[in-house]
Amino acid sequence: MTDCIFCKIAQGEIPADKVYEDEQVIAFPDINPQAPVHILVIPRRHIPGILEVKDQDRDLLAHLHKVANQVAVEKGLSERGFRVVINCKADGGQEVYHLHFHLLGGRKMNWPPG
Ligand code: 5GP
Ligand code: ZN
């Protein structure tokens, strides 16, 4: 996707201070953090959102979870906990249509979310 901001970050066209990267997945801080730790974990491949996840993406989705787990531990969140969020479309608050996990921690999260 040529006009997708997260594809551009994945391809290095837009800089991001990556905290994790491999062939399939990257993680980097959100530009507008909503918590002391706010990391985005994304597949390099363009998937618009959770509605477009297919059966054949099973391994990739498992890997995204494992990377979120690993980054959370590295950021010191494993003892007190954290939240992982996927927003979907307008009511979910999705602004960037490239699948991403928000990893949020370092403060008590509210439930239910606003
Ligand atoms: P969404 O609302 O789609 O679930 O989340 C998109 C997130 O991407 C937002 O939290 C927003 O702050 C973040 N974001 C948008 N553009 C950029 C960018 O260029 N760099 C980074 N690091 N984060 C971005
Ligand atoms: Zn994309």
Distance of CA 84 to the CA centre of its chain: 8
> Which atom number of ligand 1 is nearest to the Cα of residue 14?
19
| 41-80 residue pLDDT tens | 999 999 999 999 999 999 999 999 999 999 999 999 999 9
Is the Cβ–Cβ distance between 1 and 8 less than 8 Å?
no
In a domain, 24, yes or no: yes
Which residues lie at CB < 5 A from ion ligand 2? 1, 4, 6-7, 46, 98
pLDDT at residue number 114 = 84
Structural domain harbouring 48: 5-105
Q: What is the CATH number of the domain that holds 36?
A: 3.30.428.10
Structure tokens at 13: 């066209």
pLDDT at residue number 31 = 98
The residues lining ligand 1, judged by C-beta closer than 6 Å to any ligand atom, are 5, 14, 16, 28-32, 87, 93-96
CA dist list (Å): 81 to 63, 73, 90, 107:
20, 9, 28, 9
In a domain, 112, yes or no: no
pTM to 2 decimals?
0.98
- 106 backbone φψ class: left, alpha, beta (φ>0; ψ -120 to 50): left
Mean of all residue pLDDT scores within the chain: 97
Q: How far is the CA of 79 from the centre of ligand 2 (A)?
A: 33
In a domain, 114, yes or no: no
Please state, in angstroms and rounded to a whole number, the distance separating the CA atoms of residues 27 and 93: 20
Q: How far is the CA of 56 from the centre of ligand 1 (A)?
A: 26
> Which atom number of ligand 1 is nearest to the Cα of residue 32?
12
Taking residues 8-28, what's their average pLDDT? 97
pLDDT at 1 over 70: no
pLDDT at residue number 24 = 98
In a domain, 68, yes or no: yes
| 72-87 residue pLDDT tens | 999 999 999 999 999 9
Ligand nearest to the CA of 38: 1
Number of structural domains (the chain) is 1
Amino acid letter for position 49: G
Q: Is 100 a catalytic residue?
A: yes
